[in-house]
């Protein structure tokens, strides 16, 4: 449900002039709690994947920092830092967390790489697949052609990080997609940061 890029029917994006970082004090506290859990290493690979696993109607109806708070609570429970009983007991009521992980655990993270296979100007096509687990390849670019415009650093592959006890590191890229290729009509290009294993070399 989180992967809504390019989906129509949700109305215009409301732009708030001089929008504050936090609209309410609870949002500031939710931010602090989540960052503290991250810095302590309890949300490694869990943060985004927990948000993705929120029940769809809950995800759509809840504010941004409720997603953060849900991710923190889910990550702490799944990581064994606190139990559901402790969480509910402290709050005095049941607290909803994300739905269980559907993807199986990985025993082999795959081979890491530190050298970029692609160069600036290369035309690539994003792999199209539908994993049960986490991925950082947006649905709207899967199967689409794009052009490498920047070589970025080597980072842990999110698709593996949550689902395996070991990490797999890969080069990342900024890939430019023409609006016509994505939406079938002219418009501004879209730049997406993608990991190397998401990409395949494409002839011009």
The tens digit of pLDDT for each residue in 48-83 reads 999 999 999 999 999 999 999 999 999 999 999 999
Q: Which of 197, 87, 193, 92 is nearest to 148 (CA)?
A: 193
Give me the chain's average pLDDT, please.
93
Q: Is the dihedral of CA 17, 59, 6, 139 positive or negative?
A: positive
The tens digit of pLDDT for each residue in 173-204 reads 999 999 999 999 999 999 999 999 999 998 76
CATH domain 123-201 topology: SH3 type barrels. (2.30.30)
Domain boundaries, the chain: 1-98, 123-201
How many residues can be counted in the chain? 204
61/55 Cα distance (integer angstroms) = 10
* Residue matched to tokens 């943060």: 47
Strands (E), the chain: 123-126, 145-156, 169-177, 190-195, 199-201
Three-state SS string across 161-192, please?
A: HCCECCCCEEEEEEEEECHHHHHCCCCCCEEE
Query: Hey, which residues does 169 pair with through a beta bridge?
Result: 156
Percent of the chain with pLDDT over 70: 100
Q: Which of 79, 65, 66 is nearest to 37 (CA)?
A: 79
* Residue matched to tokens 């950082």: 136
Check if CATH label 1.10.472.20 holds for domain 1-98. Answer: yes
32/69 Cα distance (integer angstroms) = 10
Name the range with the highest mean pLDDT among 25-34, 88-97, 156-165. 25-34
Q: Which of 110, 105, 87, 106 is nearest to 97 (CA)?
A: 87
């Amino acid at each position: 449900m989180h992967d809504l890029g390019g989906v129509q029917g949700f109305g215009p994006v409301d732009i708030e002039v001089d929008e504050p970082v936090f609209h309410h004090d609870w949002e500031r506290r939710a931010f602090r709690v989540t960052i503290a859990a991250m810095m302590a290493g309890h949300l490694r690979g869990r943060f985004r994947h927990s948000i993705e696993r929120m029940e769809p109607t809950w995800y759509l109806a809840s504010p941004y920092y409720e997603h953060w708070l849900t991710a923190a609570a889910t990550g702490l429970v799944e990581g064994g830092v606190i139990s559901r009983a402790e969480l509910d007991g402290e709050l005095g009521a049941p607290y909803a967390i994300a739905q269980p992980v559907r993807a199986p655990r990985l025993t082999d993270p795959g081979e890491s790489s530190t050298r970029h296979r692609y160069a600036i100007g290369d035309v690539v096509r994003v792999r199209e697949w539908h994993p049960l687990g986490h991925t950082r390849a947006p649905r709207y670019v899967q199967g689409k052609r794009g052009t490498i415009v920047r070589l970025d650093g080597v980072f842990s592959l999110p698709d593996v990080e949550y689902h395996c006890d070991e990490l797999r590191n890969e080069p990342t890229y900024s890939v430019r997609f023409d609006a016509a290729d994505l939406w079938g009509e002219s418009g501004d290009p879209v730049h997406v940061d993608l990991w190397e294993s998401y990409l395949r070399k494409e002839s011009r």
